[in-house]
Structures are given as structure tokens and as C-alpha cells.
Amino acid sequence: MPRPTRPSTFMILAALVGAMLATALPGPAEAREFKRIRDVNVSCTNTLRCDLYITNPRVTLYTVGFRRAAAFEAPVALYLTMREALAAGSEVRFVIDGTEQLTVPVGAFSYRAAIAEYSYDDQEAVRALFAAAKAGERLQVTYRTRNGQATAQFSLAGVVAGAIFMDEVQGRVGREDALQAIGTVADTPETPGAAVDETLADLGAVPAGLQRYYDGVGAPCADFDGAVPDPLGGFTAEITDEIRLVGLRCGSAGAYNAPFAFWKQIDGTYYRLALPVMTEDGPGAEMVAWNAVWDDETDELTAFFRGRGLGDCGVFNRWDIGMVGFNEGFVLREMRVKDECDGEFDETMQSWDRLWPPQPDKS
């Protein structure tokens, strides 16, 4: 299967970074994976039960966390660890950036006295709180013990990256039950411009003219490692009155990268489209785009091959449809790369190395 220009470099870097973190960062004795991202910790046991938690050792309430087992669609629990027991009949209030998100009566918590831990697993409430935590900057928790009422402050810096890492460890990246995707319906925005065609549910829904790409050993899009995604995933878009663009998942995904192939349809005939890229040796072409999204408003295709699940390195491409010789095809408008998986995030990718258009000569 085709691969993007530099995946081997990313995989090696990611492995090295992961190895260094695993040896450099302490964690519970039972933990198989541990990572600290800004002010958030993620710890996973050998059974892949993971905790995403924030600590404040200066207060009685010294840990606020979210816990999840590895099972498909396992519930998410909110938990608190205390130096003193909460007062009976009191409430715990959770405020994010000045807005109250949740109030829980102490009696609604499950309490494990041996480890001074309170847990709460009402899924609608916990998911809404977690969605707010991903979008917020500071969490304030007000509670009461026998010594009176108190308030603890926690930084939320790193919650999103921690959720992605937790999903990566538990194998949820790209799945509907991913922690990064969790929220109430209102809190989970639709992907803008994705133009998903819900009818592309399985291989049987692939248009007849494209079946040869999916049928039989050696077909370019047939390798799904025995697990065809449902829905298959793809989109259709009208380019002109005579031409439609079709994009479909093409083969199995990795931990956090899914390949898509593209065709233009003219009078019932499908023509596969190549995707121009820049390489170290000059112009080249790929036959798949990774994690591709089509924007109906701008008629642009973007693709982001993640060097690792955190998204702090990889390859980004942007194409639109234009004339390639005498026919319509993809035209490369932007390509950026970042080889070093250093934990530094730039959502705009403007700080990444630009391979296309060429950087201006400053000499």
C-alpha cells in the first residue's frame, strides 16, 4: 500500500520519544503506560484501564480525574481523592472558567475509604463535564469537609492532548467511542465541510465501477486486515455538471491514520486521481491521502498524516481541483512537514516546514 513521503522517519521518532518518556517519567508500579502532558497526567495499567488526572498537592482535594476501562464504549468515571472525608449531606460543585458545569451531592458518589477516593459515573453528567474541560482553561472545585468549605483550583492545560494519548493507548483513535470525541450531542461539533455520504456503509455499497479496486487479492483497496469499517467512509462532490468527485476509504488504517483514494466520475466511468506532492527529490505523486477531509465550500481537499496520535508532527497537504494537462485533477496548493515529535502543538501548522509553495529565498 502506498505510504506518505516520510512515515518511516515519524515512526522511528515516535518510538524513540515513547521509549524516553517511558523510562524518564515515574508512574504507579502497575502502570504499563504513563505520560505527563503540561498539567495533566495519564496512567494506564497492564489491563489498559486508564486514568487522566490533575493534581494540586497544596489542597485537601489533591486529585481530580477521569477513569476508563479498555472495553468498547466503557463508561467514563469522574473521581476525586481527598486527604479528609467530604461532609455528609454536602455537595461538590465543578466550575470551569467561571461557569458552573456540575453539582454532585456527596451521597451520589461511591466512596472507597481505603484509598480516600470518591467516584461518580452518571454518563450524561460526566461526559458533559469532560467536554467542558477539553474546551476550558481552569477548573474550580468547591467542597466541604469537617473543617469547613474550601475551593481547589486546577489547570486544564493538556486535557485534549491527554485524551488523545489515552485513546491511543486504548486503541480508540478514530473510533466513535474515542475519549477525545466524548461529549453531549450539543458539545460535539460536526466536522465542517466533511460532506460524508452516509450511504457508503460497506463494501457492498461501493459503486459497481469501483468494485475492482476492492475485490480480490491484490486489489489496491482490498486490504482491510479482516475488519471493514462500518460505515466504510467517504464522500461525493459535484465538480462540474458533468464531473463528480468520489472519495473512499482504501485499505486498513493504522493506529491514527486512515487512507483514502479518489476518482472522478464522467458518464458512469471512474478515473482514479493521483495526488501531487513534493519530495526531497522533487515533484512526486501519491495514490492515497491520509485522514482526508473535503470542504464543500472551498472545494479543497486536506490531508494530515499524523506522525503520532498527539498530532504534533506529520505531513499536511492541501489540494484543489484544477486543470492538469488537458484534464481535471488535483493541484497541490500547500504542503508542510514536521519531523520532530516534540510535544509542541501548532494548530495552524504555520511554523511547520513548508515544502510547497517554495519558501522565498532570503539570501
Task: Report yes or no on 181 lying in a domain.
Answer: no
The answer to whether 52 and 42 have CB atoms below 8 angstroms apart is: yes
In angstroms, rounded to a whole number, what is the distance separating the alpha carbons of residues 138 and 135?
10
Task: Report yes or no on 345 lying in a domain.
Answer: yes
Three-state secondary-structure class, residue 134? helix
Looking from the CA of 178 toward its CB, the CA atoms found within 13 Å total 21
Bridge partners (DSSP) of residue 355 are: none
Same domain (yes/no): 109, 211: no
Long-range CB contacts for residues 346-349, cutoff 8 Å, separation at least 24:
349/316
In this predicted structure, what is the pLDDT of residue 315? Answer: 94
Check residue 199 and report its DSSP letter.
T
Check residue 326 and report its DSSP letter.
T
Same domain (yes/no): 207, 319: yes
Number of folded domains that form the chain: 2
The DSSP H or E segment spanning 170 is helix 159-170
Same domain (yes/no): 223, 263: yes
Grid cell for residue 113: 475509604
Amino acid 284 reads: G
B/e letters for 149-160, b = 16+ CB within 10 Å, e = fewer, are: eeebebebbbbb
Q: Which domain range does residue 67 map to? A: 38-170
Residue 5 has pLDDT above 50, yes or no: no
129-166 tens-digit pLDDT: 998 998 889 999 999 999 999 999 999 988 988 898 88
Q: Cell 450511504, residue?
A: 199
Task: Report yes or no on 292 lying in a domain.
Answer: yes
In angstroms, rounded to a whole number, what is the distance separating the alpha carbons of residues 36 and 163?
12
The residue-averaged pLDDT of 196-204 equals 49
φ/ψ (deg, to 5) at 181: -95, -5
Give the CATH number of the domain where residue 116 resides: 2.60.40.1880
114-136 tens-digit pLDDT: 889 999 999 999 999 998 998 88
Residue 202 has pLDDT above 50, yes or no: yes
Same domain (yes/no): 197, 58: no
Same domain (yes/no): 71, 138: yes
Check residue 191 and report its DSSP letter.
P
- The more confident residue out of 136 and 308 is 136
Three-state secondary-structure class, residue 158? coil
Task: Report yes or no on 126 lying in a domain.
Answer: yes
Same domain (yes/no): 211, 351: yes
In this predicted structure, what is the pLDDT of residue 362? Answer: 57
CA 42 to chain CA centroid, Å, is: 16
Bridge partners (DSSP) of residue 140 are: 95, 153
Task: Report yes or no on 11 lying in a domain.
Answer: no
Same domain (yes/no): 209, 292: yes
pTM of the complete model: 0.48
Three-state secondary-structure class, residue 127? helix
Same domain (yes/no): 129, 212: no
Task: Report yes or no on 255 lying in a domain.
Answer: yes
Same domain (yes/no): 219, 340: yes
Task: Report yes or no on 2 lying in a domain.
Answer: no
φ/ψ (deg, to 5) at 10: -65, -45
Of 170, 205, 228, which residue constitutes the final position of a domain?
Answer: 170
In this predicted structure, what is the pLDDT of residue 68? Answer: 94
Residue 41 has pLDDT above 70, yes or no: yes
Task: Report yes or no on 10 lying in a domain.
Answer: no
Per-residue DSSP letters for 21-85?
A: HHHHS---TTEEEEEEETTEEEEEETT--EEEEEE-TTSSEEEEEEEE-SSTT--EEEEEEESSP
Q: Cell 465541510, residue?
A: 193
Same domain (yes/no): 238, 314: yes
Same domain (yes/no): 334, 215: yes
Grid cell for residue 7: 512515515
56-113 tens-digit pLDDT: 988 999 999 999 998 877 899 999 999 999 999 999 999 999 999 999 999 999 999 9
